Amino acid sequence: MSAAQIDALAATVGDLRSLLGSDARALALRRALMEGSLGALPAKVPGVSESVLGPLRGSLVLPSVRISSMLEAEDGTTKWALEFGDGQSAETVLIPSRTRATVCVSSQSGCTRSCAFCATATLGFRRHLTAGEIVHQYLVARDAAAQAGLEASNVVFMGMGEPLDNLDAVLLAARSLTDVFPGLSPRRVTVSTSGVVPRMARFLRESRASLALSLNASDDATRTKIMPHNRTWPLASIVKVLREASSERPRRYFVEYVQLPGVNDTAEDAARIAELLRGLDVHVNVIPHNPFPGSPFRAPAREDTLRFHDQVKAQGLTGIIRWPRGRDVSGACGQLALRA
């Protein structure tokens, strides 16, 4: 995108005010972008005259996106494969609950990491997504949720990709999602990371969104086997960033822990997790591994997940079990690999 072009779905009311010279016009255009037809700027924007908007039309860039597939799981979870203008694709998942819905967005096509328990790693890295392409994913899922009478009030950056390797776009997308339209609470936007230490510190300085650490092991040796980049940023360096940020202002972190049977789910692991995170305000989510073709790991038995979760709670840690959603359409955590 050239300097003269504007990523329209990433532009906040404040950004548009500087272009349009008016709060009212900025609000009107932002509403039209967020609530109008996806992929196209309306022919007319109520409240913005064409004499003002016309000269800007060529600069406002909307992502070129088409839905190449949509699959609905038995539990109501919906997965879309979105193809962008250059032919690259990413997946988006809508996870409904009784009163609201969570949208899981991708930040990359493919992924820059090689986590052994994740199907996306089998794709390799294709490219970063723009902020507008990330926001577009939310709008697709939001509109589908609305048709089911649900509010898409939560967004998690836990789809394809390592969000902090695409930090500039992720910060812009999170800022857009929490702007007046669509107006999500920053507490309900969560960005996950496998532990990219330099960018974690920047994210915690610059964003009001929540941070989730994909931990998945209680010691460096195990973590390096399943997450090779741990050699670069071992556990101590990751936790140090969290402690330093918490010392500047209190904040809660989410910790994601994919349970791999016989690999990282012993009572000793639970004790080490608690020692590693001691003094931090954390919410630990135990995630039973979701298998995929070629995965070297099996799914844990339900009783083993309950046992390990009890062991984690016994250490004084709070959290839940994130039971699989959308597994039958390869839409569960760790299964996104553009498979139909």
| pLDDT per residue as tens digits for the range 158-199 | 999 999 999 999 999 999 999 999 999 999 999 999 999 999
d(CA 132, CA 5): 12
Same domain, 206 and 105: yes
- The reported pLDDT for the residue numbered 99 is 86
The DSSP call for residue 335 is -
Q: Which residue out of 50, 72, 91, 275 is catalytically annotated? A: 91
Q: For 187, which DSSP code?
A: G
Number of domains forming the structure of the chain: 2
Do 270 and 178 share a structural domain? Answer: yes
Q: Is the dihedral of CA 243, 247, 251, 252 positive or negative?
A: positive
pLDDT value of residue 1: 64
DSSP letters for 15-30: HHHHHHS-HHHHHHHH
CA separation for the pair 75, 83 (Å, rounded): 25
Catalytic residue among 104, 111, 118, 333: 333
Please report which confidence band the pLDDT of residue 338 belongs to, taking 50, 70 and 90 as the band edges. confident
Which residues are CB-contacts of 149 (< 8 A; sequence separation ≥ 6)?
none
Mean pLDDT on 199-206: 97
Q: Let me know whether 83 and 40 are in one domain.
A: no
Q: Is 271 exposed, middle or buried (0-12, 13-18, 19+ CB in 10 A)?
A: middle
Based on the residue annotation, tell me whether 111 is a catalytic residue of this protein: no
CA dist 18 and 7 (Å) reads 15
| C-alpha to C-alpha distance for 340 and 337, rounded to whole angstroms | 9
Please tell me whether residues 98 and 229 are part of one structural domain: yes
Residues 27 and 118 placed together within one structural domain of the fold: no
Q: Which pair of structure tokens corresponds to residue 136?
A: 């577009």
Q: How far apart are CA 75 and CA 90, in angstroms?
A: 22
Pair (36, 108) in one structural domain? no
Continuous H helices in 213-297: 220-226, 235-248, 267-277
Residue 101 in domain:
yes
| Cβ–Cβ < 8 Å for 116, 226 | yes
**Cβ count within 10 A of residue 49:** 10
Asked if residue 37 has pLDDT above 90, the reply is no
pLDDT at residue 39, rounded to an integer: 74
Residue 52 burial by Cβ neighbours in a 10 Å radius (0-12, 13-18, 19+): middle
Q: Is residue 194 part of a domain?
A: yes
3-state secondary structure of 30: helix
Stretch 242-253: mean pLDDT: 96
Band (40; pLDDT cuts 50, 70, 90): confident
Cβ proximity of 154 and 145 under 8 Å = no
pLDDT at 131 over 80: yes
Residue 339 lies in a domain: no
* Same domain? 260 vs 210: yes
Amino acid 36: pLDDT: 82
Tokens of 173: 């997308």
User: What value does the mean pLDDT take over residues 292-315?
Assistant: 97
Interatomic CA distance for residues 32 and 35, integer angstroms: 5
Within a domain: residue 334? no
283 falls within a domain: yes
The last residue of a domain, from among 61, 79, 101: 61
Q: Are strands 252-259 and 281-288 parallel, antiparallel or unpaired?
A: parallel
Higher pLDDT, 339 or 85: 85
pLDDT at 261 over 60: yes
| pLDDT above 60 for 278 | yes
Q: How far apart are CA 322 and CA 70, in angstroms?
A: 23
Residue that is last in its domain, among 34, 61, 88: 61
- pLDDT one-digit tens code per residue, 48-69: 999 999 999 999 999 999 999 9
Q: Tell me whether residue 125 is in a domain.
A: yes
Residues 16, 156, single domain; the answer is no
Residue 324 is given by DSSP the state -
Is 158 part of a structural domain of the chain? yes
Give the residue numbers spanning the domain of 21: 6-61
Judged against a pLDDT cut of 60, whether residue 2 lies above it is answered with no
HSE of 221 in the Cβ direction (CA atoms, 13 Å)? 3
Q: Are residues 23 and 136 in the same domain?
A: no
- 2 versus 97: the higher-pLDDT residue is 97
Residue with tokens 């509109």: 143
pLDDT band at residue 340, thresholds of 50, 70 and 90? low
Residues 74 and 109 in one domain: yes
Residues 37 and 119 in one domain: no
Token pair listed for 184: 């999500």
* Cα 318 to Cα 326: distance, rounded to the nearest angstrom: 25
pLDDT for res 138: 98
Tokens 């032919």 locate to 87
Distance between CA atoms of residues 244 and 242, nearest Å:
6
165 occurs within a structural domain? yes
Of 61, 84, 101, which residue sits at a domain end? 61
Residue 163 belongs to domain with CATH number = 3.20.20.70
Q: Are residues 205 and 286 in the same domain?
A: yes
> What does each C-alpha distance from 337 to 24, 107, 123, 334 come to in angstroms?
43, 14, 7, 9
Secondary-structure percent of the chain, ordered helix, strand, coil, rounded to 5: 40, 25, 40
Catalytic, 206? Answer: no
